[in-house]
A and B are shown apart, each in its own frame.
Chain A
Amino acid sequence: MSANARKNNAHILAQDNDVLIQANALNRYYGDYHAVNDFNLTLKKGEVLGLLGPNGAGKSTTMQMLTGNISPSSGDVLIAGINLIEEPELAKAAIGYLPEQPPVYKDMTVAEFLKYCAALRGIAKGQRNNLINNASDRCGLQDVSKKLIGNLSKGYQQRVGIAQAILHQPKVVIFDEPTVGLDPLQINQIRQLIRELGEDHAVILSTHILPEVQAVCDRVQIINRGETVFADSFEKLAKRHFGSNLLVSFNGSIDAQLIENLTHVESVKLLDSMADQNRYQIIFDQDSNLQNHATDIFKLAVKQGWELVELSPQTETLEQIFMDLVYSDTKPQQAEITNVSKELVNE
């Protein structure tokens, strides 16, 4: 089989090798429950995708489908051009997967375990030691390689899980919440590792920690209740939601009307006034250049002799965007509930 596999791999290498993961219209039902609805994804080499969503959104189910742990009810998955459902063994050789719970045997030492994984992935004997050393280095496991996995802390077990996923240098790496249980220093190391991996692999990671996505991902796909509610590059997400607002603060009172009279200004809102300081939010119309507006405000302040103490763009955090997207989706349902309760009250 391995000779055959090599031939096939060569054949695929000859083709366009850029698209490493292609998922078409994936659906998954658990009984009547529609866990994942029409999931589409194209991921190229060198891209890191963040898969976001609240609990029970279908992230893990999606990842299990992409790694061949469960079959989709409909739709198909191509890993580096190989159909995961028709040729699972061949396709799986190109995947490294870290599930939510690191799949490690607690009664083995780290070195034994990685050796076993290398053998399972069909790595030639001569290369095994090299690859194991490489993965241990990258995950900082050299010092504990002779320890039983069961005796390691959660963070180290997680690192063993990551090491097993990248051991065979798969083209596609899929991490389900990789930084859970790690301390801040380790989190940084793992993020660094993911960024490194992102250079010559295709990486998917799911997480609850939004800054993590901001830190390592090029693209974001947000899933809510099985449906994709947002899928685009990170920059577009940022552009869509960041910075059409400015925050300004002045010492002493000012005439807000003067600001409102400026071009492109839609509205001026007094946010808070503490002691002598007044803080305003200035909202501009959509297609405007924030930098120019800041200059305008500054000039106006100089002209009027206002004591400007803050002038900054208002950036929405990813968290807010996320809440927005997920929340706006749940709104109709909540509205229904309120209607129902109103009806109940009326009765």
Chain B
Amino acid sequence: MNNIFTIAITEFKRMFNSPFAWSVLAILQFILGMIFLTRIDDFTGFYQQQIATIENAPGATFFIVSPVYLWAGIIMLAVMPILTMRSFAEERMNQTLTLLRSSPLSSLQIVLGKYLGLLLFVILFIAMLSLLPIALSYGTEIDWGMIFTSSLGLFLLLASFTAAGIFLSSLTSQPVIAAISTFGFLMFLVMLYLSGGSQTNGSELFIYLSHFSHFETFVRGVIDTSDIVYYLLFIVGFLVLAVRKLDNDRLLG
């Protein structure tokens, strides 16, 4: 267990040794801040009057904050593959995987260590994102429950991206291929969501399979255990595959 945390913390710190993690966080914060601003603009200029007359109308959180979380999920479709590609593909390319391989560690420990390291980054990202609603709370009343479910949902969504990315990164020694295939896979699940929701040929199954459908309920402020189970299965499934792949390397590599 100690080993897992050692790897996780070192991986996390190493991201900040180069400008890489800093610039990713800065750019994300800038883009999401801009989206946040436009939503505030829309809300004060348009929605506020619309809902003024409605009883029990959804509040500022629904109109301003939830879309930002949804957008964060969408943007991370493209960013997460860049973060996960490093985990194994880059180590293979630089031939540094040998260090972990010849240390007294199991493949499971290596995979979990790398995974937790990336989750720390995800948590940091979500913490920075939640600075936006906190800033808003000085001007209006915020539905903190909704912020919590949205954050939890975003965390699970990104945790599932990470698991898939780690597995695909373990398959190759080319970081770019790892990134592009992870992006392709994540987009494929988005396509399932879109085609499943099509007006003419909709499919409940497709919608269930896609990760975004489960994220949506969280953003609406609902915690559904079946959604949590979906993400846990998704994560465990891909991590097991990654462990198997590393074990197999010893036999076939």
Contact = CB atoms under 8 A, between A and B. Distances in A.
Interface string A112-137: 00001101111000000000000000
A71 B106 CA distance: 14
A181 to B, nearest CB: 15
A121 B106 CA distance: 12
Given A92-B103, A93-B104, A108-B17, A120 B6 contact: yes
B252 to A, nearest CB: 8
B98 A97 contact: yes
Interface in A83-117: 88-90, 92-93, 95, 97, 99-101, 103-108, 116-117
| Chain A interface main SS type | loop
A101 B102 CA distance: 14
A68 B6 CA distance: 21
Given A89-B106, A92-B103, A122 B3 contact: yes
B95 interface: yes
Nearest to A2: B2
B251 to A, nearest CB: 5
A92 B102 contact: yes
Interface in B74-100: 94-100
Given A101-B95, A103-B98, A117-B99, A122 B104 contact: yes
A106 B105 CA distance: 22
A298 B40 CA distance: 107
Contacts of A117: 99, 103
Interface string A192-203: 000000000000
A121 B103 contact: yes
A93 B104 CA distance: 5
A120 B3 contact: yes
A211 to B, nearest CB: 27
Contacts of B7: 120
B6 A116 contact: yes
A9 to B, nearest CB: 12
B99 A121 contact: no
Contacts of A37: none
A69 B102 contact: yes
Nearest to A92: B104
Contacts of A95: 102
Contacts of A70: 249-251, 253
Interface residues of B, number: 25
A104 B98 CA distance: 9
Contacts of B14: 105, 107-108
Nearest to A65: B250
B225 to A, nearest CB: 34
A92 B99 CA distance: 11
How many chain A residues sit at the interface, stated as a range, is 20 to 34
Contacts of A119: 2-3, 6, 10
B18 interface: yes
A207 interface: no
A106 B95 CA distance: 12
Contacts of B244: none
A106 B90 CA distance: 12
A164 B99 CA distance: 9
A166 to B, nearest CB: 13
Nearest to B15: A107
Interface in B1-56: 2-3, 6-7, 10, 14, 17-18
A241 B123 CA distance: 67
Contacts of A101: 94-95, 98
Contact of B96 (A68, A69, A90, A103): A103
A221 interface: no
A120 B250 contact: no
A11 B227 CA distance: 50
A224 interface: no
B98 A120 contact: no
Interface of B: 2-3, 6-7, 10, 14, 17-18, 94-106, 249-251, 253
Given A92-B105, A101-B98, A122-B3, 12 more contacts: A69-B98, A69-B102, A99-B102, A101-B94, A101-B95, A103-B95, A103-B96, A103-B98, A105-B14, A117-B99, A121-B103, A122-B2
24 contacts: A68-B102, A68-B250, A69-B98, A70-B251, A70-B253, A88-B106, A89-B106, A90-B104, A92-B102, A92-B103, A99-B95, A99-B98, A99-B102, A101-B95, A103-B96, A107-B18, A117-B103, A119-B3, A120-B7, A120-B100, A120-B103, A120-B104, A122-B104, A164-B99
Interface of A: 67-71, 88-90, 92-93, 95, 97, 99-101, 103-108, 116-117, 119-122, 164
Enumerate the 7 nearest inter-chain pairs by beta-carbon distance, A residue then B residue, closest first: A103-B99, A107-B17, A101-B95, A93-B104, A120-B103, A92-B104, A103-B98
